[in-house]
Amino acid sequence: QPQQVAWPHCCYKGMEREQVVEVAILACGAPRRGMGWYHAKQLLEGRVTGAKLTDIVEPFFLTTGKETQAGQDFARWAAAAEASGVRLHQFVAAEVPVPQVPKLAVVCGRTVDNPQLVREAIDHGFSHIFLEKPGAPTVKELEDLDAYAESKGVPVYMGFNRNFSKYILAAKEHLGTVPAGSSLLLVNKNSFDTSEALDECFERNSEGIIKNMMIHELVVLISHFGVSCDTVRDIVIDRNLTCMETRKGFSDMSKIGLSIVVKSGREFKIRLDRQNGEVSEAAVMVNGEEAFRASRPDPEIAKVATEIEEAEPGIMPYFAMQDGEYIVLKQRVVDHMLHGQHGSVPDGVATLAGGIEGLRLADRIATAAAAAARGRNQQL
């Protein structure tokens, strides 16, 4: 194990803008499908100012998965990345050069694998971690990871890009102008619109719709609206909007609706569907009537998404829809490494504390959903 360098949180403070943050992607994934791949794509295109992609770690497609079709696709894409100066590695500890300057690890593996990947990155000498959501399968694992990172003095930021969604920020602003008893409705739909796509969704996201999909909305409520487990009074599952399925041995909900009522009396409603489009909405309700609604995509986002999908046929639609949010999130982290204050957090960026609270709330919702499932309902 390499000797760890005790980097201060913001090692570049006071340097000129031409200084860059070196970045490594840990668990890149397949082209057009892996979150790590999309982060790498944006970095290679130079769209994150002050960041330079130097290393890609891919433990599957560079080893046992290299003969698969996805592995061959990865090899073609990775060859171009390597030609641009990016180093390719199968594993972190044995191959990645020990960082000699502050360096960001972007961790994008399977949820079950990510805690170990973060520990390996910290032990290897990475000074900052960007961890994709939800970070770990359980609250305990994420708490343990938080304690480990803190003991090593390494800040961990989480990839909750929806904190920067225009439709969320617009709804938050409007909610601040209406009576206290008003409510907020959050809607999110995916585009796994064929039986085969939904089968793959259930398998790839086996942590379930609550921890894989709803975690976005939960962290939004925590980050922007002050919701926490301590403030929640009631969680009510809408059985008519919730459907449990078993697909290829994986059981999960393909859609779910619920209401969260906090102690102040304000109600937050969430409606999720794995199918029926790639669209997200936030609506402010006053006395049961809709007073405001914002959506993603808006015309500007739709135009950009169409251009991305035309340039990358077969890309996951949500990459294209959320492209700008991923840029803003990484830019906030990089800017903070370059110019931020020691011990502070990049504005709007979720930390492990927010992720932990999100998983705690997810567990409470899962318990409520299980209780509803025991009731009489054809859908659930």
Cβ burial, residue 110 (10 Å; 0-12/13-18/19+):
middle
Residue 113's contacts (CB-CB under 8 Å, 6 or more residues apart) are: 27
| Residue 85 in tokens | 């100066």
Nearest to 29 by CA among 154, 104, 94, 114: 114
Contact 104, 23 (CB under 8 A): yes
**pLDDT, position 239:** 93
| pLDDT > 50? residue 14 | no
Cβ-based neighbour number of residue 41 at 10 Å: 23
Mean pLDDT (whole number) for 188-194: 94
Nearest to 296 by CA among 188, 161, 193: 188
Contact 155, 9 (CB under 8 A): yes
**pLDDT, position 42:** 98
**pLDDT, position 37:** 98
**pLDDT, position 176:** 94
Q: How confident is the model at residue 84 (pLDDT cuts 50, 70, 90)?
A: very high
| pLDDT > 70? residue 29 | yes
**pLDDT, position 365:** 97
Mean pLDDT of the chain: 92
- Residue of 284 and 342 predicted with greater confidence: 284
Sheet holding 21-26, edge to edge: 87-89, 51-57, 21-26, 103-107, 128-131, 156-158, 350-351
| Residue 6 in tokens | 């005790």
Does an H or E element contain 172, and which?
A: helix 166-175
**pLDDT, position 3:** 37
**pLDDT, position 15:** 41
Contact 195, 186 (CB under 8 A): no
**pLDDT, position 18:** 57
Amino acid (1-letter code) at residue 170? A
**pLDDT, position 105:** 98
Mean pLDDT (whole number) for 2-20: 45
**pLDDT, position 94:** 79
Percent of the chain with pLDDT over 70: 94
- Residue of 372 and 157 predicted with greater confidence: 157
Q: CA-CA distance, 376 to 380, in Å (whole number)?
A: 8
| pLDDT > 50? residue 305 | yes
Q: List the Cα angle 139/144/145 in 5-degree steps.
A: 100
Classify each residue of 55-94 as buried b or exposed e, where b means 16 or more C-beta atoms within 10 Å of its C-beta: bbbbbbbbeebeeeebbebbbebbeebeeeebebbeebee
Cβ-based neighbour number of residue 95 at 10 Å: 13
**pLDDT, position 242:** 95
Q: List the Cα angle 352/354/357 in 5-degree steps.
A: 110
Q: How confident is the model at residue 343 (pLDDT cuts 50, 70, 90)?
A: confident
DSSP-derived secondary structure for 237-297: EEEEEEEEEEETTEEEEEEEEEEEEETTS-EEEEEEESSS-SEEEEEEEETTEEEEEEEES
pLDDT tens for 220-279 read: 999 999 999 999 999 999 999 999 999 999 999 999 999 999 999 999 999 999 999 899
| pLDDT > 50? residue 83 | yes
**pLDDT, position 380:** 37
Q: CA-CA distance, 86 to 39, in Å (whole number)?
A: 14
| pLDDT > 70? residue 151 | yes
**pLDDT, position 218:** 98
**pLDDT, position 56:** 98
| Residue 134 in tokens | 């939800």
Residue 234's contacts (CB-CB under 8 Å, 6 or more residues apart) are: 259, 260, 261
